Amino acid sequence: MDHIEFTRNYSDHSTDKGFQFEFQCDRCGNGYRTQFQAWALGTATGVLDTASSLFGGIFSQAANVGERVRSAQWQQAKDAAFAQAVEQIRPNFLQCPRCSSWVCKKSCWNQARGLCKNCAPDLAVEISAQQSAKAVEKIYSDVSADGEDSKLISSVGDKKVAASCPQCHAPLATNAKFCPECGYKLADAKKFCQECGAQLQPGAKFCPECGTKAG
C-alpha cells in the first residue's frame, strides 16, 4: 500500500506495547476508537529493558539492539495497524462533497441531500429550532415587569442608573441615592414644585416658576 486514505480527523493512542486509534466526526466531535492491538515484539523488548537495568553488560547491549529493531519494525507494524483501523472505521463516516468535512453517518449526515448537516440541515429540526427562538422573543416582548420592578423603572425615568458603586464597587440592588457599603453619594435627588411641577434647583426655597415655597 503506497498511501493510507482517511487520515485527517484521528488521534493516535499507540504505545510501544501496541496500537490504538480514535476517529472523530468533524461536526459533532463524537466518534469511534479501535480495539487495542498488541504488538508482539513489545513484550520481548520490555523484558530486555528490564534485564539491562538489573544486570547491564551483555543484556544492555541486547536491549539496545532490540530498541533499534523495535523502532523500524514498530513503525511498520503501526502503519499496518493504522491502515486496518481506517478500513474498519471508514463505513461509519462520509466525506461531504461540498465542504470536504468527514462526518459521522449516525448523526451528522443528511442522507436525502447527500451532504453533511452543516451544508444541508434537517429542515424539520431547523423549523422547530426557529419556532422555539421566536417563542422566546415573544416572551421577551410580551411579558411585563412585576409591580415592584415597575415602580423602580418608573422612579428612574431618564436618569442614569449605576449597577455598582463607583468608589467601592459594591453592587447596587436598587436605584439607591447612597452606597449601602461606603455611603458614597450616588446622585443628587431631584426636587419638584408641589404646585406646578417645575424642577427645583438644589437649595432653592421657592419655585422659580410659580413662587410656591419649596417643601
Residue 63: pLDDT above 80? no
- Is 146's pLDDT higher than 80? no
| Averaged confidence pLDDT in the chain | 80
Quote helix, strand, coil % in the chain, to nearest 5: 40, 15, 45
Residues 28-58: pLDDT tens digits?
A: 999 999 999 998 876 555 444 444 445 445 4
pLDDT band at 9 (very low <50, low <70, confident <90, very high): confident
- In percent, the amount of the chain with pLDDT more than 90 equals 40
* Res. 65: pLDDT tops 50: no
Instruction: Give 66-95 pLDDT, tens digit per residue.
Output: 455 558 888 899 999 999 999 999 999 999
Q: Cα–Cα distance between 139 and 148 in angstroms, integer? A: 19
Helical spans, DSSP H, in 99-207: 123-142, 147-156
Q: Which amino acid is at 11?
A: S
pLDDT computed for residue 99 by the predictor: 94
pLDDT computed for residue 215 by the predictor = 66
Site of grid cell 523502532: 71
Closest CA to 215 of 198, 191, 196: 191
Dist. CA 152–CA 55, nearest whole Å? 84
pLDDT tens column, 179-215: 888 888 776 556 777 888 777 776 678 888 888 887 6
